[in-house]
Amino acid sequence: MMTRPNTPTRRYFLRSIGATLSLPALHSLLPNALGPSSALGSTLSETDSPARLVAVGNLLGFQLSSFFPETPGKDYEATRLLRPLDPLRDQFTIYRGLDHGVKGGHFAVHSFLSGVLKMDAKGRADGNISLDQLAAESVRGRTRFPSLAVGSESGIHGGCQMCWTRSGTRVPPIPGPQELFRRLFVDEPRSRIKETRDLHSLQGSILDAALGDARTLRRRIDRADREKLDEYFDSVREVEQQLQLRRQWAEVAKPAAPFEEPRDSNMVEDLPLLYDLIALALQTDSTRIATLEIGGDFEPKNLGIDKGYHTLSHHGMKQESIDALLVLEEYQMEQFARFLARLAEIEDGPGTLLDRTTVLFGSGMGNANAHTNHDLPILLAGGGFEHGSYKSTPVDGHGKIPLSNLYLSILQRLGLERDRFADSTGTYA
């Protein structure tokens, strides 16, 4: 019996994938079936003091009544959650009324930096690529790490879901200070460098074979399967770029460690150290793009509270639970204020590291108790923007401004020549 010419053999697939990569399920190649390129953006400013971006996200939001002031403008009052930041008032701006217009509660928080729900990303030119990864594309190769995503893989609703590549792949986070320290400051032993180089060459040849056969296959499949295959191409390109970077930096020594290697403890106690390590990563130009996500495993028992973070976020308007939750949120704000103060102390060219680092702070959750994703708590610091005020816009209806407008302004400030991001309608800063 002859094999159908439209049906690939087992040997064909094994040769295509090098026994390690998996092609997507292509229905038009199954028996009896009917017969995005990722152009890199402009590079970030290559001056003696390059532009940088840090995005800090909170999975469960904040108590909005204790976050947002009553009075817009420069003379706003310092609320309980903004009070730790008040000494730096002229270095940041608070925004109210911004969001992405998405729904889904906890399951929509992943859109915080992308502006797009993953399920709605198909067919979009940029998919659901997040703000940080789009910026990282423009500096690939200029720093050891195009970006550093820091967070946790445990807690309610799984691990961090804040950072997404162009192909819709989640960027797994660095889970604690010990691994982040090792990536930044610990070199591989010399004996392993050749082994690593040989492994990279082998992986590269497998990718070449997979792409070559996949391109041949593309001419034999229908439109729906070509879309799946294009997504596969994007994924393989991302792996290729990662391999190229590893080869490029394999024999370049890392900066000297500023202190002994730390041990992981818990997210609450580790938070100050994580911020310190991110500041060092920027200062040493190990990366120019970093994110930090505070997830559901940020357990308040380390602050003397006997209930879990997620449980407290669903407080049911019980004052005792709200008071406990505010203790936890206030601690987060204190550590964020400490981070901004640290960046403001570090000299960077003619100014400070904060002057050249755009720092976004907020959450994809507006009200965790009600599971809403609108009216998000947003704060923008540094980066050379004009700061020192509280900007309140309509929460809905006429005059509402998409959060993606602010993100477009951030990208343009970083030097990317773009006129759109997600569902932006213009710029706003």
Mean confidence (pLDDT) of the chain: 82
**Which ranges constitute the DSSP H helices of 250-381?**
267-283, 309-313, 319-345
Within 219-266, residue ranges assigned H as helices are 223-249
Cβ-Cβ contacts under 8 Å for 58 (sequence gap 6 or more): 293, 294, 332, 362, 363, 365
- The answer to whether the beta carbons of residues 418 and 368 sit under 8 Å apart is no
| Residue 131 near residue 410, CB atoms below 8 Å | yes
Contact 295, 313 (CB under 8 A): no
CB-based burial of residue 82 (10 Å sphere; 0-12 exposed, 13-18 middle, 19+ buried)? buried
- Does the pLDDT at position 46 exceed 90? no
Spatial CB neighbours of 261, under 8 Å, sequence gap ≥ 6 = 178, 181, 182, 186
Q: Give CA–CA dist 226/232, Å, rounded.
A: 10
Which pLDDT score, from 0 to 100, does residue 83 have? Answer: 98
CATH number of 39-186+254-321+340-359+369-413: 3.40.720
Strand-pairing partners, residue 382, are 358
pLDDT tens by residue, 287-312:
999 999 998 778 777 788 888 888 88
**Of 340, 280, 278, nearest to 132 (Cα)?**
278
Residues of 332-342 as b/e, b for ≥16 C-beta within 10 angstroms?
Answer: bbbbbbbbbeb
The pTM of this model reads: 0.79
Nearest to 58 by CA among 49, 46, 67, 70: 67
Render pLDDT for 315-364 as a digit per residue (tens, 0 to 9). Answer: 888 899 899 999 999 999 999 999 999 999 999 989 999 999 999 999 99
pLDDT digits (tens, 9 = 90+) for 52-63: 999 999 999 999
Question: Tokens 């106690």 appear where?
Answer: 269
Mean pLDDT: which of 134-143, 147-156, 368-377 is highest? 368-377
Tokens 């608070």, located at residue? 94
pLDDT digit string, tens, across residues 192-251: 555 555 555 555 555 566 666 666 666 667 766 766 666 666 666 666 666 666 666 677
